[in-house]
Amino acid sequence: MLKGKTALVTGSTSGIGLGIAKALAAQGANIVLNGFGDAEGPKAEIAALGVKVAYHGADMSKVSDIEDMMQFAASTFGRVDILVNNAGIQHVARIEEFPVDRWDAIIAINLSSAFHATRLALPSMQQVNWGRIINVASVHGLVASAAKSAYVAAKHGVVGLTKVTALENATSGVTCNAICPGWVLTPLVQKQVDAKAQAMGVSHEEAKNLLLGEKEPSMQFTTPEELGALAVFFCSPAADNVRGVAWNMDGGWTAQ
């Protein structure tokens, strides 16, 4: 379905980003990966799906790095047809104890980077009258949890940015939607499982069940593969008129 198209997925060396990149590659899209840590493993996993793959190590907290990455993607593959704004970090602390540098980093990586990549991707999408911008927000773009002020503020911001991007392009073939996962067992959440296990003196298995039990009636983690399938749907012709939605995949978290 996506043969000949190029997808750039930020924060795709791990977790949800890698899951989405693999799902888009399985539909034939060439992929630009981004993120920290090992890039060779993810590159090989994408190449094995029979598409072209490139990697750019932009630090998504730096505007000049994002500009460089978008230029690299255009010069490597001609254009970015699908932009997935996924890179994100977390820090958990009450507001009065929240480190100022963590606030700034979360707003820059989880929110401002989506604005910068979007503003740089839009002109070439508008030129060919087709494009897909998918913002990986969170249930925390819809509801809040204590001790996650920066993350919740950034993710609510991402949902707002999604709606504005969708509206500004509503008469064109460029759509923008957000995905709002509940708990997904990636390194980002594993840290929270480990912290809970330590704080409560319980096993990792018990800590996982406690995390799920607090929020997710399904008692199941959402998987990167499920989120990848939703991203593929947003790229399909059936989603041509799906604009500005914040689609939760959260085991019932926000239905309560």
Can you tell me the distance from the alpha carbon of 152 to that of 142, in angstroms, rounded to the nearest whole number?
8
Can you tell me the distance from the alpha carbon of 76 to that of 156, in angstroms, rounded to the nearest whole number?
33
In the complex with ligand NAD, the residue whose CB is nearer, 51 or 193, is: 193
In the complex with ligand NAD, the residue whose CB is nearer, 19 or 131, is: 19
- Give the H or E element holding residue 215: helix 204-215
Beta carbon of residue 58, minimum distance to ligand NAD (angstroms, whole number): 6
Beta carbon of residue 208, minimum distance to ligand NAD (angstroms, whole number): 12
- Dihedral sign for Cα atoms in the order 221, 242, 238, 116: negative
In the complex with ligand NAD, the residue whose CB is nearer, 105 or 130, is: 105
Report the interface residues with ligand NAD, using CB under 6 A. Answer: 11-17, 34-37, 59-61, 86-89, 109-110, 136, 138, 181, 183-184, 186-189
Going edge to edge, which strands form the sheet with 82-85? 53-56, 30-34, 6-9, 82-85, 131-136, 174-181, 246-249
Choice among 77, 151, 183, 253 that is catalytic: 151
Can you tell me the distance from the alpha carbon of 84 to that of 10, in angstroms, rounded to the nearest whole number?
6
Beta carbon of residue 235, minimum distance to ligand NAD (angstroms, whole number): 18
In the complex with ligand NAD, the residue whose CB is nearer, 34 or 169, is: 34
151 part of the active site: yes
140: left (phi over 0), alpha (psi -120 to 50) or beta: alpha
Map tokens 């990636």 to a residue.
186
Beta carbon of residue 50, minimum distance to ligand NAD (angstroms, whole number): 23
Q: What is the set of active-site residues?
A: 151
